[in-house]
């Protein structure tokens, strides 16, 4: 089980984007993996789609777990639920993805291969920013190196040693949606490790969304930006712990 990657997806509505993402996984993943999906109380038919999960076929799939929250507990909390399940499954590799992404074929095996061969890099993902970064060749692996900032958890692979070092996603400081992914990247930077992307680009299908949902996400980021900046300063100056623990509140 050591080389099985646990792919962790959080869903909250956006059924058609979720369907595209899941179908894309079936076609693009070419290495052993578990699939863990946490739904944050969707109301648009997503729960029914996940409950009748019969058309997902991939020869590399080892285990699948779907959990339904009775309320929207937030993206970071749900990611921590997924990571907790992944740890129970065993294995050394984890990957967060959003429910609105399209990946190139073989992306997951390439991410893990780079991580195995480049110890100075803590996380490798698929670039959905629209702008590529310079390609570096390290230990025979060619990939994009991001010199600053975070990867975002739209697609981010990391290993068990990073979890043991940094723990879980920050689910207390940023509300139900905001800077938890950037916070994780900041903690990686704070321990002196690096971040990068595979060579081929991916697509963040939800980037073109407009309307109330997009406005809400933008407002959430604005509300928590100052807290994120303060946390970053405190992480780098070791004023607050880099390790974040998580214990699911089953009574919440």
Our count of domains for the chain comes to 1
User: Domain for residue 247, yes or no?
Assistant: no
Judged against a pLDDT cut of 50, whether residue 178 lies above it is answered with yes
Judged against a pLDDT cut of 90, whether residue 233 lies above it is answered with yes
Judged against a pLDDT cut of 80, whether residue 206 lies above it is answered with no
User: Domain for residue 154, yes or no?
Assistant: yes
Q: Cβ distance 150 to 182 under 8 Å?
A: yes
Q: Cβ distance 152 to 101 under 8 Å?
A: no
Judged against a pLDDT cut of 80, whether residue 210 lies above it is answered with no
Half-sphere exposure for 24 (CA within 13 Å, toward CB): 23
Looking at residue 207, what DSSP letter applies?
A: G
pLDDT higher at 61 or 219: 61
User: Domain for residue 217, yes or no?
Assistant: yes
**Calpha distance 84→86 (Å, rounded):** 5
What CA–CA distances, in Å, run from 121 to 9, 56, 85, 127, 144?
Answer: 23, 32, 24, 15, 11
Share of the chain above pLDDT 90, in %: 80
pTM given for the model:
0.93
Q: Cβ distance 5 to 91 under 8 Å?
A: yes
Sign of the CA dihedral running 143, 99, 206, 24: positive
Owning domain of residue 41: 5-236
Alpha-helix runs per DSSP H in the chain: 15-28, 46-51, 75-89, 107-117, 160-166, 180-190, 212-236
What CA–CA distances, in Å, run from 137 to 11, 68, 134, 145?
Answer: 35, 42, 10, 10
User: Domain for residue 167, yes or no?
Assistant: yes
| Residues β-bridged to residue 66 | 37
User: Domain for residue 141, yes or no?
Assistant: yes
The per-residue pLDDT for 216 is 67
**The dihedral formed by the CA atoms of 238, 148, 80 and 198, expressed in degrees to the nearest 10:** -140
Instruction: For residues 111-120, give the mean pLDDT.
Output: 96
User: Domain for residue 158, yes or no?
Assistant: yes
**CATH code, domain with 163:** 3.90.550.10
User: Domain for residue 15, yes or no?
Assistant: yes
User: Domain for residue 28, yes or no?
Assistant: yes
């Amino acid at each position: 089980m050591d080389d099985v990657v646990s792919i962790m997806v959080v869903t909250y509505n956006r059924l058609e984007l979720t369907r595209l993402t899941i179908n894309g996984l079936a076609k693009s993943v070419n290495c052993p993996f578990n699939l863990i999906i946490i739904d944050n109380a969707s109301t648009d038919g997503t729960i029914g789609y996940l409950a009748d999960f019969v058309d997902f076929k991939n020869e590399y799939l080892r285990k699948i777990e779907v959990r339904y929250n009775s309320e929207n507990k937030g993206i970071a909390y749900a990611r921590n639920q997924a990571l907790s399940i992944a740890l129970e499954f065993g294995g050394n590799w984890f990957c967060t993805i959003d429910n609105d992404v399209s990946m190139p074929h073989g992306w997951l095996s390439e991410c893990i291969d780079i991580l195995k061969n480049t110890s100075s890099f803590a996380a490798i993902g698929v670039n959905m920013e629209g702008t590529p970064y310079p390609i570096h060749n390290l230990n025979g692996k060619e990939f994009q190196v991001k010199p600053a900032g975070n990867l975002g958890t739209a697609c981010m692979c990391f290993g068990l040693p990073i979890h043991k070092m940094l723990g879980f996603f920050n689910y207390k400081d940023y509300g139900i949606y905001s800077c938890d992914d950037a916070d994780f990247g900041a903690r990686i930077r704070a321990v002196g490790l690096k971040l990068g992307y595979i060579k081929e680009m991916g697509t963040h299908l939800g980037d073109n969304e407009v309307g109330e949902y997009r406005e809400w996400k933008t407002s959430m980021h604005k509300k928590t930006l100052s807290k994120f900046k303060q946390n970053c300063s405190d992480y780098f100056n070791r004023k607050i712990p880099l390790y974040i623990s998580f214990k699911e509140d089953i009574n919440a």
